[in-house]
Amino acid sequence: MNHTTKPTELLLNGLPYAGQDEPVRNRVPLSRWKKRLVAAVLATATCLAVPTLAHGQFLTVFDSLFSSIQSDIGGSLKSVNQIMQQVTKLQQTTLAPLAALNQARGFVANTISSFRNSTNQIFNTPFTSAVTPGPQQFESILHSRLSTQIPSLQTSFTTNYGAVPPVNAASPQDRVMMDMDDALGQQNLKTTLIADQGEDVILQTANQMENQVAVSTPGSNPYLTAQAQVANLRCQAYMQMMLAAELRQEAGRIAHDNALVKRRTTATGGVNSLISGTLTR
């Protein structure tokens, strides 16, 4: 008996199989490859089917939401829009007609173009009249309209009007009067510099308010009125400051004149004493 002879293979019906023998190891990889291919096909089909189903579900949810918005909320929004349109029409035709607004804006624009340039020329017209260098410098400082020029103003004032004489050059009473007169003069001149600078601020504010009125919209009148009241109060404050400076200057002049009267009275009393002493002798 040959041990190398392979046993005869039989089919399912019991007949012998006479085909060529194939190693079993060659059929095993093919079977595994088929199983893997089937699994891959099934996985692909599952992946393609699930998003389609989910997408359909999401569309159904969004359709429900849109239907609810259009049917329930949409009616309310439509009513609100109609009311807002009616209110806007009432404002444009009755409360704030566009024709009247344009007419008012045109009036303001014409007023600005007619008077602003002339007003600026009046306020900015130079009034210099000094001839010599010292007074010219002093005058330019006075018309600078800058409060930062106050130290230069004091120096130029002393240069042009002179300083208080030394102790032995004038009587004590004369030195005091000259010092007081110079102090009042410098104080009022410094006040004019501050007032001129404040005047420029007020004019700029007025121009800004005019520009705002020219492009104002309905409902902005209370704000413009409040701004105008604030500017008016500022103007009143500057006017009060100038009036106070004028009153101080007038009071100083009255005191100066009264001091001269006192000196004449003292001098007259001294002369009377000399005359009486001479007659008595």
Q: What confidence score (pLDDT) does residue 37 get? A: 63
- Domain membership flag for residue 239: yes
C-alpha to C-alpha distances, 203 to 122, 126, 143, 226, nearest whole angstrom: 12, 17, 17, 17
What is 20-31 written as a DSSP string? PP--HHHHHHHH
Q: Would you say residue 224 has pLDDT above 70? A: yes
Let me know whether 53 and 188 are in one domain. no
Let me know whether 150 and 271 are in one domain. yes
Contact 213, 108 (CB under 8 A): yes
**Domain boundary pick from 56, 71, 86:** 71
Please write the tens of the pLDDT for every residue from 104-152.
888 888 888 888 888 888 888 877 888 999 999 999 999 888 989 999 9
Most confident among 105-114, 168-177, 267-276 (mean pLDDT): 168-177
- A 10 A CB-CB count for 238 gives 18
Number of domains in the chain: 2
Let me know whether 203 and 110 are in one domain. yes
Let me know whether 253 and 184 are in one domain. yes
- Domain membership flag for residue 235: yes
> Which residue did the predictor score with more confidence, 87 or 190?
190
Residues 248-260: what's their mean pLDDT? 90
- Domain membership flag for residue 9: no
Let me know whether 238 and 124 are in one domain. yes
User: Which residues constitute the domain of residue 145?
Assistant: 105-276
What six digits make up the tokens of 123? 């306020």
Q: What confidence score (pLDDT) does residue 161 get? A: 92
Q: What confidence score (pLDDT) does residue 75 get? A: 72
- Domain membership flag for residue 249: yes
Q: What confidence score (pLDDT) does residue 12 get? A: 45
**Domain boundary pick from 20, 50, 71:** 71
Please write the tens of the pLDDT for every residue from 61-94.
666 666 666 666 777 777 888 888 888 888 777 7
Confidence of residue 54 (pLDDT cuts 50, 70, 90): very low
Let me know whether 161 and 238 are in one domain. yes
Let me know whether 146 and 247 are in one domain. yes
- Domain membership flag for residue 84: no
Let me know whether 65 and 168 are in one domain. no
Let me know whether 260 and 145 are in one domain. yes
Let me know whether 165 and 272 are in one domain. yes
Determine phi and psi for 19, rounding to 5 degrees: -70, 175
